[in-house]
Amino acid sequence: MKSTTEEIRRRFDGDVNRFANLETGQVSIIDAKYLLDVVTESARRLVPGACDLLDIGCGAGNYTLAMLGRLPELNCTLVDLSESMLAKAFERISVRAAGKVTVIQGDLRKVELAENFFDIILASAVLHHLRDDDDWADVFKKLYKLLRSGGCLMIADLVIHENNSLNEFFWQHYADYLEKTGGQEFRQVILEYIAKEDTPRSITYQLELMKKTGFKNIEILHKNICFAAFGGIKE
């Protein structure tokens, strides 16, 4: 059985400080710093006149902070399951933001947000918590509706591979990376909570879903083993 939404929320409530440190707290994410940079710089280039940002599963606010370093006048809406994460994100972002900062605690699938309103939506390490095909389809439809015309959805996340042999190959590489980075215990802990909490999908699956939803100019920005960055524009 996969973790419930409440179980995921409780885990993140207790892990705020680790996630707030990009240098040491996110070493389980391959190329974490590069993913952040390529996603936020791509968003800036795609929507240079952006006014309103939505960061879903914002965690401690790393992606919004990086976005503000590029577009400091943004109004920022932060959504996360964890109230503790949101408090840390607001603390860090409010001292940097020139615009309005709004925090919303809750599940993206259930929270009410203005449609045709956001210029940029950031989704970092969050969509892999979705479950069945209906769940994925509904969330992509919702994200599309939330964007203004010309706005972009930018994703950085854990992914699987369509081919079973390749999937096994790449995930073995990831397991080796984890062990080299933090030892056998670290490897075991990370792989166990992925198995318990996460339901990642392939890049192909998500890009096809984006196209079906209506996104255009879809691009793969980066891919390394089991992590990728990609995005698309609402025309």
Alpha helix locations (H) across the chain? 5-13, 16-20, 32-46, 62-70, 83-94, 133-146, 164-197, 203-213
For residues 40 and 19, give the distance between their C-alpha atoms in angstroms, rounded to a whole number. Answer: 18
Q: What is the CATH number of the domain that holds 110?
A: 3.40.50.150
The answer to the question of residue 190 being in a domain is: no
Q: Which of 20, 74, 29, 76 is nearest to 51 (CA)?
A: 74
Q: What's the whole-model pTM score?
A: 0.96
The answer to the question of residue 192 being in a domain is: no
Per-residue confidence in pLDDT tens, the chain, 235 aa: 899 999 999 888 887 877 777 666 688 999 999 999 999 999 999 999 999 999 999 999 999 999 999 999 999 999 999 999 999 999 999 999 999 999 999 999 999 999 999 999 999 999 999 999 999 999 999 999 999 999 999 999 999 999 999 999 999 999 999 999 999 999 999 999 999 999 999 999 999 999 999 999 999 999 999 999 999 999 8
Provide the domain limits for residue 221: 5-160+200-233
Angle (CA) 92-39-72 rounded to 5° is: 45
For residues 151 and 148, give the distance between their C-alpha atoms in angstroms, rounded to a whole number. Answer: 5
**Number of domains observed in the structure of the chain:** 1
